[in-house]
């Protein structure tokens, strides 16, 4: 089919599309759309739909253009190009995945309060993801070894990046940081205690039998997920994500002995494991969560990061505390305000 529409109208249609994918699909529907899409307007059209789908684009630009030649807080402007659009879309997809995770973790216990995020809340969440990610890229790397983390000039450089953001934007980052920590502490590196509780909740009838004598290798069924945690049943998308998560332990760790091997310690030991792992960026954490169900796989991935990674906790939290103090605030108060939903990605009235 070929529609005879004025160029301005077709351009306008392209500029009203909500996603990059829909712009690409429309471009392939007919020759005149294709022609306009491939005209000089192309990058503009893609930028526009990427902005709606993944924005704020400026924060992704700061993330993907960062390299060690410049302090992270310097502003970087780059011309629009196909390569840049591809990078924006790639980072954008990572942030979108955190939108779903956020909703479940934010109201993990208070699931009556759970709801979909508004367009603006999703925008704030993505912005926080890009900014935390830039912090990771700039300061959680081989140039930032453990012994140098408290040196004043190093602290100041980290603080300079956070000083680019308002205190309420920092609260959004703190909010999202806590959600990421929840994923790291419970999904990537579950404590021994958590695995024990999971095991007992899943197989209550076997709790009093000698653990080594049970045969549990029957295949997982959908009904077991629903029965075990029915507050998740309302969204099919969510239940499929939850399902994938459950399978991390389901498939290869159904035997209690294996559950034991999958644990990352308890209390202080587990706390330090999580501190280390929080140096991973939002994309790496999603990757490990989806592709590395076994502890040994996560350990192998982290070993590949290099020696600097080990025993070297994340520095966002302490830098944030430093910045808040410089602004005359109190970190504990900010944390409490985020928990009370007075500030952060979601603010309740």
Ligand X SMILES: *[C@@H]1O[C@H](CO)[C@@H](O)[C@H](O)[C@H]1NC(C)=O
Is 144 a residue that touches ligand X (CB under 6 A)?
no
Q: Report the alpha-carbon distance of residue 124 to residue 56 in Å, rounded.
A: 9
190 binds ligand X (CB under 6 A): no
| φ/ψ bin of 229: left (φ > 0), alpha (ψ from -120 to 50), beta (otherwise) | beta
Closest CA to 15 of 54, 67, 50: 50
Closest CA to 234 of 250, 118, 242: 242
Q: What angle do CA 75, 102, 264 make, to 5 degrees?
A: 100
What x-and-dash track marks residues 44-63 binding ligand X by CB under 6 A?
------------------x-
Nearest-approach distance from CB 76 to ligand X, in angstroms = 5
Among 1, 6, 8, 69, binds ligand X (CB under 6 A): 69
Shortest Å distance, C-beta 32 to ligand X: 38
**Is residue 263 at the binding interface for ligand X, with CB under 6 A as the rule?**
no
Count CB neighbours of 81 within 10 A.
10
* 62 vs 319, beta carbon nearer ligand X: 62
Using the 8-state DSSP alphabet, how is residue 184 labeled?
I
Half-sphere exposure of 242 (CA within 13 A, CB side): 23
Part of the chain binding ligand X (CB under 6 A), chosen from 8-16, 65-73, 136-144, 175-183: 65-73
Q: Which two tokens stand for residue 122?
A: 């999703």
* Cβ-based nearer residue to ligand X, 87 or 164: 164
Least distance CB 347 / ligand X (angstroms)? 21
Q: Which of 34, 41, 76, 194 binds ligand X (CB under 6 A)?
A: 76
Which residues here bind ligand X, judged by CB under 6 A? 62, 65, 67, 69-70, 73, 75-76, 164, 234, 251-252, 293-294
């Amino acid at each position: 089919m070929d529609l005879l529409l004025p160029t301005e109208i077709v351009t306008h249609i392209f500029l009203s599309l909500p996603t990059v994918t829909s712009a690409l699909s429309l471009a392939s529907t007919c020759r005149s759309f294709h022609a306009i899409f491939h005209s000089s307007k192309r990058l503009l059209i893609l930028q526009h739909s990427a902005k709606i789908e993944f924005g704020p684009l400026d924060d992704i630009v700061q993330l993907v253009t960062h390299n060690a030649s410049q302090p992270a807080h310097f502003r970087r402007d780059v011309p629009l190009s196909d390569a840049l659009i591809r990078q924006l879309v790639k980072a954008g997809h990572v942030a979108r995945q955190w939108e779903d995770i956020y909703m479940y973790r934010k109201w993990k216990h208070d699931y009556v309060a759970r709801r979909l995020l508004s367009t603006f809340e999703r925008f704030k969440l993505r912005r926080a993801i890009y900014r935390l990610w830039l912090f990771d890229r700039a300061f959680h790397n081989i140039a930032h070894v453990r012994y140098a983390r408290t040196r004043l000039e190093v602290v100041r450089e980290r603080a300079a990046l956070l000083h680019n953001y308002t205190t309420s934007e920092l609260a959004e980052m703190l909010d999202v940081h806590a959600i990421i920590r929840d994923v790291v502490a419970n999904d990537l590196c579950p404590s021994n205690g958590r695995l024990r509780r999971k095991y007992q909740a899943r197989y209550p009838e076997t709790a009093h039998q000698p653990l080594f004598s049970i045969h549990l290798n029957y295949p997982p069924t959908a009904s077991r997920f629903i029965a075990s945690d029915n507050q998740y049943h309302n969204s099919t998308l969510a239940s499929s994500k939850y399902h994938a998560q459950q399978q991390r332990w389901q498939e290869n760790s159904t035997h209690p002995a294996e559950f034991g091997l999958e644990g990352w310690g308890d209390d202080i030991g587990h706390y330090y494991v999580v501190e280390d792992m929080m140096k991973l960026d939002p994309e790496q954490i999603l990757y490990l969560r989806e592709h590395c169900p076994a502890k040994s796989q996560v350990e192998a991935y982290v070993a590949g990061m290099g020696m600097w990674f080990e025993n070297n906790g994340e520095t966002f939290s302490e830098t944030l505390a430093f910045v808040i103090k410089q602004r005359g605030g109190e970190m504990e108060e900010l944390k409490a305000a985020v928990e009370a939903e007075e500030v952060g990605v979601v603010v309740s009235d």
